[in-house]
């Protein structure tokens, strides 16, 4: 199966990872929008001959891999319909994923932050840290937010280099490897009020895939009826190929898709 290389910027010891295209098995196994779901999805797409597991990938790299999966699957256009918090009207928020990536670049100021070894950084205050991974996030999942943050920082900092106020280390992590989580201003066309809208790459992709699961099952049904292939054979097809076959079937029978 064809694999696509994707650059890793923040994961020590790995410069790239090879991903296969989404298939129905990947699409249907999405059940939630959290880190465990994202790791499960990527593990199914990482080539089996690679030693790297998705949980070991730095969180910032995982966000960018998910962005690449979204772009390959849906294109660069991000569109979401939200309720205005002032007048409750529905309106669309549209932006380019490419623009988001362009404006979410690492900030490295060598006067306040130096890289001491591969994957390790030191602040001007002497705090030494590495970037969190999915495995780190899973290790603190289920804890109260404040406790989870402290536990995560404890896992990612050198013994004895951090105590008390950890805000500086958190800010340094965000500068070195910013996540694709943004607060953006949106303008309601009905009441003209501006408001902040949150965007999170991980949950947005997973929600889109979960929403499209009905379409996947319809396409599986169409291909099974037309070609008499087994359920698993169809689910193993790359998404783009499955959708092409489904389009051929719809054109031949002059039917419209049930789900859009």
**For residue 9, is pLDDT > 90?**
yes
Query: Which one, of 102, 104, 118, lies nearest residue 11 by Cα?
Result: 118
Any idea where the domains of the chain sit in the sequence? 113-176, 213-260
Among the ranges given (39-48, 65-74, 81-90, 163-172), the one the predictor scored with the smallest mean pLDDT:
163-172
**For residue 54, is pLDDT > 70?**
yes
**For residue 105, is pLDDT > 60?**
yes
**For residue 164, is pLDDT > 70?**
no
Q: What is the pTM of this model?
A: 0.91
**For residue 260, is pLDDT > 90?**
no
pLDDT score at 254: 72
**For residue 135, is pLDDT > 70?**
yes
Does residue 42 or residue 48 have the better pLDDT?
A: 42
* 187: helix, strand or coil: strand
pLDDT score at 99: 95
Average pLDDT value for residue range 97-124 = 85
Q: Binning pLDDT at 50, 70 and 90, where does residue 186 land? A: very high
Q: Binning pLDDT at 50, 70 and 90, where does residue 223 land? A: very high
Q: Binning pLDDT at 50, 70 and 90, where does residue 257 land? A: low
| Half-sphere exposure in the Cβ direction for 148 (13 Å, CA) | 11
Among the ranges given (28-32, 92-96, 117-121, 232-236), the one the predictor scored with the smallest mean pLDDT:
117-121
Could you give the CA distance from residue 57 to residue 14 in angstroms, rounded to a whole number?
A: 9
pLDDT score at 114: 83
**For residue 38, is pLDDT > 90?**
yes
pLDDT score at 89: 95
pLDDT score at 168: 85
* Residue range 190-205, pLDDT digits in tens: 999 999 999 999 999 9
Tell me the torsion sign for CA atoms 223, 226, 230, 231: positive
Average pLDDT value for residue range 231-240 = 97
Average pLDDT, the chain: 92
Could you give the CA distance from residue 148 to residue 35 in angstroms, rounded to a whole number?
A: 14
Is 217 exposed, middle or buried, given 0-12, 13-18 or 19+ CB atoms closer than 10 A? middle
Q: Binning pLDDT at 50, 70 and 90, where does residue 246 land? A: very high
172 within 8 A of 121, measured Cβ to Cβ: yes
Q: Binning pLDDT at 50, 70 and 90, where does residue 52 land? A: very high
């Amino acid at each position: 199966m064809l694999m696509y290389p994707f650059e890793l910027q923040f994961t020590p010891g790995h410069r790239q990872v090879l991903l296969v295209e989404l298939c129905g098995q990947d699409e249907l196994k999405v059940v939630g929008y959290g880190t465990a779901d994202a790791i499960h999805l990527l593990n199914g797409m990482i080539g089996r001959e690679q030693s790297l597991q998705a949980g070991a990938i730095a969180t910032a790299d995982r966000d960018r891999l998910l962005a690449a999966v979204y772009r390959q699957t849906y294109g660069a256009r991000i569109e979401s319909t939200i309720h205005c918090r002032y007048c409750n009207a529905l309106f669309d928020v549209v932006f380019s994923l490419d623009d988001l990536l362009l404006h979410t670049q690492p900030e490295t100021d060598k006067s306040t932050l130096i890289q001491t070894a591969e994957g390790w950084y030191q602040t001007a205050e002497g705090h030494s840290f590495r970037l969190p991974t999915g495995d780190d996030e899973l290790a603190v999942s289920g804890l109260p937010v404040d406790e989870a943050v402290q536990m995560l920082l404890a896992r990612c900092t050198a013994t004895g280099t951090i105590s008390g106020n950890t805000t500086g280390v958190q800010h340094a992590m965000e500068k070195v490897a910013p996540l694709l989580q943004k607060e953006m201003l949106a303008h309601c066309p009905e009441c003209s009020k501006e408001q902040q809208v949150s965007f999170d790459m991980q949950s947005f992709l997973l929600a889109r895939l979960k929403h499209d699961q009905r379409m996947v099952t319809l396409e599986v049904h169409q291909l099974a009826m037309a070609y008499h292939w087994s359920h698993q054979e169809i689910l193993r097809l790359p998404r783009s190929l499955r959708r092409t076959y489904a389009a051929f079937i719809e054109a031949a029978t002059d039917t419209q898709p049930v789900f859009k």
